[in-house]
Structure 1
C-alpha cells in the first residue's frame, strides 16, 4: 500500500460518529463540521478503537492532521503507528538502522508541514519523540536549518526556540549557539527568546576562565547602556551572575551598575532591591526604599508584589 491517503482503502471500516452528531445528546448546538472532516474523524475514531497500527492508519493520520493540525490525539496515534511500523521493518530486514530512510522522509514531511503551521506545538513534541526514541541515526545538523528558517520568519516563536534548545541539549552540542543567539539579539535587543537561548549556552557550556565571564559581563553592560529599560538584558545579567559564584566583588559590581540606572529603569531598581535584600549584602533599608519606589512611581501596576516584599523584609528584621 502506498503512503498516500485514498478513501477507498477504508471501504471495510465503519466510521464511528462524532458524539455531537447524536441528536439526542445534551449539546445546545452542534458544531458545523464539514462532511470531509466528519468522515475522516469517524474513520480515525474507529481505527483508534480497533488499535489498528497499519500503513492505512498512518495515511489517515496524515489526512486528519492536515485537516486539524492541532489535534493532539491524531499526532499521538501517528506516533504509535510509526513506532509499530519501524519495529516491523527492523524485524523484517534484520537491520535496526533500516528505518532511517523512512524516518528521514517523515522528518522532511514535518519540515514542510511546520512551515505552514509555525505556531503548532504538537509538531515539536512529535518530532522530538521520533528523534529521541525511534530514529537510529539522528543528527543535530538535521534540526538546525529548519529552526533557523523559522526563527528568521518569526524571531520570537517560542516553540522553535524551545525545540532548538532541546536539540542542542539532546545532542550535547552548543558550539554554534552563542553566535546564533547573538545574531538575533543584535537585530532586536528585546528578543527575550534569544537572550534565554544565549544564557542556556553558558549553563551547558560554561566559561573556561574568569576573563571569559568578565567579557560576557561587560558585553551585557554595553547592551544595558543602549536600552536601560529592557527586562531581557537585566534578567540575562541576573542569570549570568547566578551561574557564576556570587562573591563580594561580583555583588559590588552589580550593585554599582544598578545604581547608575535606578532612576530610569525599573528593572535595574528591581535587581538592586534583590541585591540589597541578600544576607551577604545586608542593606535591608536600601531594599525597602527600592521596593517603595517601584510601588509608588516606577512600577505601580505590581505595587502589590513590592508591598509584599517590603513586608517580608520588615518581618525578617524585626
Structure 2
C-alpha cells in the first residue's frame, strides 16, 4: 500500500507492520477505547497498524533497532505524541546511538513541523545530553526566516543562549529582523531578553536603547511593539515615564505635530497618571489633560477600548482626589 513519508508531499510505498517478516514474533496490541466509546476516531489502516505494534513493543520495553525504526514511523503519523518521543529517547540511550545523527533526524522533522512542541522538546533533551549547542542558533534562524514569530523557535533560542552563554552577536541579529519587520514583537522581546541578561539597563545602556526606540517609533508611530519596549525601558528609569526629558520632549513634539497614534496618547495618559497629584503645579500632565486624552481615545482614536479609557479616567480622578485629600489633611 502507499502512505506518506516524512515529507508530506512525497508518497512512497509503505508496508504494513503485520506484513513484515521481522515483526512476525510480535502480537500487536489494539487501542483500548472502552466498551462503548463516545466518539471513535477513524484512523487510517497504516496508522492503526503502526500504533498496534508500537503499543506492543512499549509494553514489552523492547530496546532494539526495529523498535527505534518503529518510533520513527509512529512519529511520522503523529509528531505530537509525547510517549513516542520519550520511548525513542530511551531506545537511543539503551542502544548507545550516535546522538549527532539523531540531531540531523530531528532537524529534518523540525523544519517541517516547526510549530510542534514535542519535536523541539526532543531536540532540547538531545542538546542537554550532548552539551553541544553549536547548531542551534543556525537552526532557529532557518525556522525564523520562514516564520519570524514562531514561538517554539524563540523559546528554544532563548534557552540555548541563556544556558550556553551565546549572547554574542544577538543584538545584531535582532537588528536584521527589525529592519525586515519593525513590528516584529518577538524581536523586540528578544532585545529586552538579551540586554536584561547581559549588561542590564545601566544609565548608558538605557540612554542608548531609548534613542534606538525613539528612532524606530518616529519611523512608524503606529508600531505598538516599539511603544511597549519603550515602556519596558522606562521601568528601569527612576523618573518613570513622565520625568525622562528625552522621552517627554519626543512625545510632546510628536503630539504638537498632529500625530494622534493611540499608543502615543496612551503613554501621555500614563504620564498624567504619574504626575496628576504631585506637588508643584507646573506639570503639563494634569487631570484636565488626562480628561481630554481619555475622551479623545474613547471617542476617536481607540473606540474599541472606550470602556477602558473611561476606567483610566475614573482611576486618575480618584487618585487626584486622594492626593488633594492628603494635602488638606497635612494643612
Q: CA RMSD in A?
A: 2.8
Structure 2 match to 1:196: 189
Residue 138 of structure 1 pairs with residue 151 of structure 2: no
Residue 222 of structure 1 pairs with residue 215 of structure 2: yes
- The structure in which a higher percent of residues are helix is 1
Structure 2 match to 1:274: 270
Structure 1 match to 2:123: 127
State the distance in 1 between where 2:265 and 2:56 align. 60
Q: Specify whether residues 237 and 44 from structure 1 end up closer, same or farther in structure 2 by C-alpha distance, changes over 3 A only.
A: same
Contact 1:37 1:67 in 2 (8 A): yes
Structure 2 match to 1:93: none
Residue 25 of structure 1 pairs with residue 28 of structure 2: no
Residue 164 of structure 1 pairs with residue 157 of structure 2: yes
What is the deviation of 1:55?
3.8
Structure 1 match to 2:173: 180
Q: Specify whether residues 107 and 259 from structure 1 end up closer, same or farther in structure 2 by C-alpha distance, changes over 3 A only.
A: same
What are the Cα deviations for residues 285-308 of structure 1, in whole angstroms up to 9, with x where unaligned? 244543333222221222233333
What is the deviation of 1:208?
8.2
What are the Cα deviations for residues 255-306 of structure 1, in whole angstroms up to 9, with x where unaligned? 3333344542111222222233236985562445433332222212222333
In the superposition, the TM-score normalised over structure 1's length comes to 0.80
Corresponding residue pairs, total: 293
Contact 1:228 1:264 in 2 (8 A): no
SS at match of 1:278: helix
What is the deviation of 1:168?
0.5
Structure 1 match to 2:7: none
Structure 1 match to 2:29: 16
Contact 2:276 2:320 in 1 (8 A): no
SS at match of 2:111: helix
What is the deviation of 1:105?
1.0
State the distance in 2 between where 1:274 and 1:239 align. 13
Larger Rg: 2
Moved more, 145-154 or 303-312: 303-312
Q: Specify whether residues 224 and 19 from structure 1 end up closer, same or farther in structure 2 by C-alpha distance, changes over 3 A only.
A: same
Residue of 70, 78, 98 corresponding to 1:68: 78
Q: Specify whether residues 310 and 72 from structure 1 end up closer, same or farther in structure 2 by C-alpha distance, changes over 3 A only.
A: farther
What residue ranges of structure 2 are gaps of 5+ in the alignment? 1-14, 279-284, 322-331
Q: 1:205-284 counterparts in 2 under 5 A? A: 205-206=198-199, 210-242=203-235, 244-247=236-239, 251-262=244-255, 263-278=259-274, 282=278, 283=285
Q: Specify whether residues 288 and 15 from structure 1 end up closer, same or farther in structure 2 by C-alpha distance, changes over 3 A only.
A: farther
Q: Specify whether residues 208 and 291 from structure 1 end up closer, same or farther in structure 2 by C-alpha distance, changes over 3 A only.
A: closer
Structure 2 match to 1:34: 44
Structure 1 match to 2:281: none
Residue of 77, 93, 115 corresponding to 2:87: 77
State the distance in 2 between where 1:228 and 1:49 align. 60
Structure 2 match to 1:45: 55
